[in-house]
Structure 1
Amino acid sequence: MSDAPVPRLLAAVAAGGALGALARWGLTEAFPSDADAFPWATFAINVAGSFLLALLPASALVRRRRDLAVALGPGVLGGFTTLSAYSEQTRALLDAGRGGVAATYLLGTLAACLVAVAVADHWSTVLERRAFELEGGDE
C-alpha cells in the first residue's frame, strides 16, 4: 500500500463526509435545543454514530470494499458525529449557569457512546473484527 491516498478513496471520504454532515445538520435543525437545555439531537447523533462505526466490522461487504469502508467510516459517520458541537454545547450550558446539565451531557454522552460501541462490538465476531483490521479497516 502506498503512502498517498488513492484519489477514489479521497473522493469516497469527501462524498461520505458531505452526506454525514448534511444528515447531522438536518437532524439538529429538525430537533433544535435552547442553549440552556440538554442537546438531545447531538447526543443521539453521537451515540448512533458511535454504534454504527463500531458495527462496520460486522459487515462483510464493508470489509471487502475499502472504498465503502472509508466512505462510511471517516466519511459518513465522521461527518455525522461531532466533537465540536458536543464541546460547544457543553460550554454554552456552562455559560448559561447549567453546570449540572453540562456535566450530565458531557459524561452521559461519553458513557452512552461507550455502551453503544460495546453493544455493536458484541454484534460482531472476533474474526470479523480481525478481518476488518487486516483488510485495512477504515484507514
Structure 2
Amino acid sequence: MTGPEPVDPDVDLHVPAQRTEPRGRVLAAVAAGGVAGACARYGAGLLWPARPGAFPWTTFWINVVGCALIGVLMALIAEGGRTAHPLVRPFAGTGVLGGFTTFSAYALDVSRLLDEDAAAVALAYAGLTVAGALAAVWAGASATRRAVRGRGAGRGRG
C-alpha cells in the first residue's frame, strides 16, 4: 500500500486550477524561470563585482529587490481579484525570483569576507541582508495589498 503522492510546495492547493497541474509542466516552468533569474543575477555580479574586503552591495541589493518583488508577486496572486495561471507562481516566484535572489551567493560572500579578515563587514552584511530582505518582502506585499484593495474599492486613480 502506498501513501498519497507528495505535493509540490510551489503549487497553491487553495487554487483549484493548480491542484491538477502536471508536475512536468511545473518543473519546466521553475527551470526556465530559474535560468532567467540566475543569469540576471550572474550578469549583475559581472557588471558590479565586490572588491576584496568590501561590502558586497550587488548581492545585497539583488536579494533586497528580489524579496520586494516576491512580496509584490505573492500579494498580486493572493489578492489580485483574478485567478493567475497555475504556472505563474512556479515560473516567476520560485523560478525567476528564486534564481535571482540567492542564499548561496550570500553565504559565499560572508565566507569570503571572513577569509579576507573582514569579520566586521561580514557580520554587517549578514545582518543587514536578512533585515533588508524581510523588510523588503513585507513592504512589497503591504504596498501591493493596499494598492489592490484601493483599486478594488474604487478609491484608486484611473
Category of TM-score, reference length = shorter chain: 0.7 to 0.9
Cα shift at 1:48: 0.7
Structure 1's 33 and 83: CA in aligned 2 closer, same or farther, altered over 3 A? same
Which segments of 5 or more consecutive residues in structure 1 lack a partner in the other structure?
Answer: 129-139
Question: Which residue of structure 2 lines up, in the alignment, with residue 124 of structure 1?
Answer: 144
Cα shift at 1:65: 1.1
Identity across matched positions, percent: 41
Structure 1's 109 and 16: CA in aligned 2 closer, same or farther, altered over 3 A? same
Cα shift at 1:5: 4.8
Question: Which residue of structure 1 lines up, in the alignment, with residue 116 of structure 2?
Answer: 96
How many angstroms apart in 1 are the aligned matches of 2:86 and 2:104?
27
Residue 57 of structure 2 corresponds to residue 40 of structure 1: yes
Structure possessing the higher radius of gyration over alpha carbons: 2
Residue 71 of structure 2 corresponds to residue 54 of structure 1: yes
How many angstroms apart in 1 are the aligned matches of 2:56 and 2:75?
30
Q: Report 1:1-139 matches (<5 A).
A: 1=19, 5-59=22-76, 60=80, 63-125=83-145
User: How many residues are aligned here?
Assistant: 126
How many angstroms apart in 2 are the aligned matches of 1:118 and 1:70?
20
What TM-score do you get using the length of structure 2 for normalisation? 0.73
How many angstroms apart in 2 are the aligned matches of 1:81 and 1:121?
17
Structure 1's 35 and 13: CA in aligned 2 closer, same or farther, altered over 3 A? same
Which structure is higher in helix share? 1
Contact 1:14 1:75 in 2 (8 A): yes
Which segments of 5 or more consecutive residues in structure 2 lack a partner in the other structure?
Answer: 1-18, 149-158
